[in-house]
Amino acid sequence: MQKKLIEHLSGFITPERLLLFEKVLEQRTAYITVVLEDIFQPQNASAVLRTCDCFGIQHVHIIENRNKFTVDREVALGASKWLSLHKYNEKKQNSLKAIKSLKESGYRIVATTPHKNDQLLPEFDLTKGKTAIVFGSELPGISETIQNEADEFLKIPMSGFTESFNISVSAAIVLYQLSEKIKKQNEIFWQLTEQEKDTIKLQWLRNSIKRSNLLEQRFLKEQGSTGTATKTIR
């Protein structure tokens, strides 16, 4: 049914746009995902989403503990429309729930923070498995929960007096290097599965077509009617 719905909704966008969807999907990955913990500046939040879209990172996991994740539309330039955003914003233990969910999905948790056992970005090994890169809040950084639950720690090499980059800059550096590296690793199946592509394409179609929900409801109703008619004939 999903493929039929995709085919139906595809008729409401231009062939050129549909071709662009196909092209972008070929470069999307779920092998690397991003986790944003308690980001409070909309400009930073939006810049990271824009970076994820540009480098083909499809899934972003957003943890809201004390701060609500807010997007600045002028900075994001619509990036959130093309990403799969997963929010954790219940009353407590959002960070722990996010990490447990990711680990259950086969991700290793990699925190971006100075640590005695950290690895430098150029040396990071992507062949060890799917990777969730965690970026913490602007001032305090990642929480103690993330530090305790992290499997590995990642550090960007720096040569100046300043000890850290702005979060949006950190995300851009890390994701550029890892997204370039992953495409050169022949032993890593980093691209989306056909089922994943279909799910995302349907999401994009819904986001691109005005009143897509009404078109979808009408289509499903017609399909249901057809199914009923077919049963009656039999």
Residue ranges at the known binding site for S-adenosyl-L-methionine: 112, 156
CA distance 161 to 30: 35
What are residue 163's phi and psi, to 5 degrees? -90, -10
> Exposed, middle or buried by CB within 10 Å (0-12, 13-18, 19+), for 216?
middle
Residue numbers belonging to the annotated binding site: 112, 156
Show Cβ contacts of residue 104 under 8 Å, excluding neighbours closer than 6 positions: none
Q: Give the DSSP per-residue string, 7-26.
A: HHHHTTS-HHHHHHHHHHHT
Of 128, 143, 142, 137, nearest in space to 178 by CA: 128
Which amino acid makes up residue 94? N
CB atoms within 10 A of CB 42: 17
